[in-house]
């Protein structure tokens, strides 16, 4: 089978490595992929948002199955276009991807169907939002409606910060049309959990839970990033909480999307906060998380392609999704300075990986036989083990063997999770 994967980050590298475990897979194409993914897939320079280019590639290369991973092509309707051209696809339609594409849509959905989430108000006018914030309490959470490269959320500690965030988003349009509407949301507290799930619109099968580390610096300080590391499972996500989330969040969301005529098929990502008043939805994503996927898929025991085909065909059942009992840790190596200014173009030397190790490359380009860093987040060093403690030790041991000039990593990935296990 010829498989096409759209995207070019560490998450896509993890998806590709999992898909390749299936013996039926003969060829994997990645559009655009990257210099590290090139070791596992044939990469072609077609942008993930170039839908015409993608459809043209898929039909001329007679692709048997396509996996669309990033948010923007999903929201633009990449799956609809490929399916209309006769290419079976894993991923939601544009009508369903709106659950991530518009935070106003998803907030209204949760309100309408009684799915627990932060209280909020929607604004299309900056002055009204500012007047509302003036009367409100802090911290307050301000969210641009549309996609904003993961940067559209501001936690304002006081009115001055809130006002400048509103002006940047709504007047200066730092995220373009994504800032035409905003949400002002109640600030929630509690441990955060990421739960990726497979759903065919009828059945929802959660994957192993995970914990992201979004801030740039140790101790959860510094700027928000795309994610500096992950662990799975998330120790705060107990069986009792999982059961509650299934009943109050996962199934109600899938049913709500059906009721709206927007059946979701694909990977539905629940960003949850375990508040003192119970689990609440912080965000939905219409896709695999990055870098959550890098710890979730290495723990998947059953076959990813079989699951993805069942999702598309509407025949998903919980028994095709099996995870091994252990734990996984991903330590991201970034270019020093990320998420602000950084230098790249440095040669990366990679060690051989052992059976319980993986290196998923996020930002690299090929130059002859060498691979050079080409992005903020360069790669993830991943280890699986029977215990979280050993997975963390293993991921750091692997990370220490990877070299490029100006490599930066957090030194405390998994620390909070390990502490929670001891509580």
Determine the Cα angle at 305 with ends 294 and 6, to 5°: 60
| Binding letters toward ligand AMP, positions 202-241, x by CB under 6 A | ------------x---------------------------
Binding mask 267-286 for ligand GLY (x = CB under 6 A): ------------------x-
Beta-carbon count within 10 A of 315 CB: 12
- Judged by beta carbon distances under 5 to 8 A according to partner kind, the member of ligand GLY, ligand AMP, none in contact with residue 141 is ligand AMP
The smaller minimum CB distance to ligand GLY, of residues 35 and 226, is found at 226
Instruction: Return all residues near 311 (Cβ < 8 A) that are at least 6 apart.
Output: 90, 198, 199, 200, 265, 266
What residues between 284 and 303 interact with ligand GLY by CB under 6 A?
A: 285, 289-290, 292
Q: Which is nearer to ligand AMP, 156 or 328 (CB)?
A: 156
* CA atoms of 334 and 344, how far apart (whole Å): 10
Sign of CA dihedral 272, 273, 279, 282: negative
Per-residue binding letters, 218-247, with ligand GLY (x by CB under 6 A): ---------x--------------------
Supply angle C-alpha 167, 173, 175, rounded to 5. 120
According to DSSP, the residues that pair with 231 across neighbouring strands are 211, 329
Distance CA 419, CA 232 (A): 14
Instruction: Detail the DSSP E strand segments found in 175-244.
Output: 182-186, 192-199, 204-206, 211-212, 215-217, 221-224, 229-232
How many residues does the structure list for the chain? 423
d(CA 327, CA 307): 21
Q: How many residues bind ligand AMP (CB under 6 A)?
A: 14
Among 12, 50, 185, 292, binds ligand AMP (CB under 6 A): 185
Pick from ligand GLY, ligand AMP, none: which does 227 bind, CB < 5 to 8 A by kind? ligand GLY
Q: To the nearest whole angstrom, how small is the minimum distance from the Cβ of residue 121 to ligand AMP?
A: 12
Query: Segment 123-162, which members bind ligand GLY (CB under 6 A)?
Result: 150
Between residues 29 and 105, which has the closer beta carbon with respect to ligand AMP?
Answer: 105
Question: What pairing do the DSSP bridges indicate for beta strands 266-275 and 370-373?
Answer: unpaired
Nearer to ligand AMP, 80 or 283 (CB): 283
Nearer to ligand GLY, 200 or 212 (CB): 212
The DSSP element (H or E) to which 170 belongs, if any, is none
Q: Which of 249, 276, 290, 256 is nearest to 380 (CA)?
A: 290
**Residue 282 touching ligand AMP (CB under 6 A):** yes
The residue number whose beta carbon is nearest to ligand AMP equals: 283
Give the binding site for ligand GLY (CB under 6 A): 150, 212, 227, 285, 289-290, 292
Give the binding site for ligand AMP (CB under 6 A): 118, 141, 150, 153, 155, 185-188, 192, 214, 271, 282-283
């Amino acid at each position: 089978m010829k498989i096409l994967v759209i995207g070019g980050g560490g998450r896509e590298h993890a998806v590709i490595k999992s898909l390749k475990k299936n013996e039926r897979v003969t060829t994997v194409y990645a559009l655009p992929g990257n210099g590290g993914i090139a070791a596992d897939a044939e990469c072609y320079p077609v942008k993930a948002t170039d839908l015409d280019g993608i459809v043209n590639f898929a039909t001329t290369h007679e692709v048997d199955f396509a996996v669309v991973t990033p948010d923007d092509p999903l929201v633009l309707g990449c799956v609809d276009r490929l399916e209309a051209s006769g290419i079976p696809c894993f991923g939601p339609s544009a009508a369903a991807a709106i659950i991530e594409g518009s935070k106003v849509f998803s907030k209204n959905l949760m309100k309408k169907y009684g799915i627990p989430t932060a209280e909020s108000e929607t604004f299309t006018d900056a002055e009204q939002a500012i007047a509302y914030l003036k009367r409100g309490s802090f911290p307050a959470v301000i969210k641009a409606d549309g996609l904003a490269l993961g940067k559209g959320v501001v936690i304002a500690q006081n009115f001055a910060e809130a006002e400048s965030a509103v002006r940047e988003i709504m007047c200066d349009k730092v995220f373009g049309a994504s800032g035409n509407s905003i949400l002002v949301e109640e600030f929630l507290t509690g441990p955060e959990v990421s739960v990726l799930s497979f759903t065919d619109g009828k059945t929802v099968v959660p994957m192993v839970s995970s914990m992201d580390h979004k801030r740039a610096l140790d101790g959860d300080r510094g700027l928000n990033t795309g994610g500096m590391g992950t662990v799975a499972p998330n120790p705060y996500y107990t069986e009792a909480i999982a059961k509650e989330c299934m009943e109050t969040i996962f199934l109600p969301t899938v049913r709500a999307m059906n009721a709206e005529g927007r059946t979701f098929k694909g990977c539905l990502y629940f960003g949850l906060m375990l508040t003192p008043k119970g689990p609440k939805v912080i965000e939905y994503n219409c896709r695999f998380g990055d870098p959550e996927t890098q710890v979730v898929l290495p723990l998947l025991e059953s076959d990813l392609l079989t699951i993805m085909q069942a999702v598309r065909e509407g025949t998903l059942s919980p028994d095709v999704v099996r995870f091994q009992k252990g734990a996984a840790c991903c330590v991201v190596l970034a270019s020093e300075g990320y998420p602000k200014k950084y230098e790249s173009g440095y040669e990366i030397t990679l060690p051989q990986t052992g059976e319980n190790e993986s290196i998923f490359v996020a930002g690299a380009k090929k130059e002859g036989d060498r691979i050079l860093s080409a992005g903020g987040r360069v790669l993830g060093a991943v280890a699986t083990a029977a215990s979280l403690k050993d997975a963390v030790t293993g991921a750091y041991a692997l990370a220490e063997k990877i070299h490029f000039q100006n490599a930066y990593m957090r030194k405390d990935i998994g620390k909070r999770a390990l502490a929670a296990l001891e509580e």
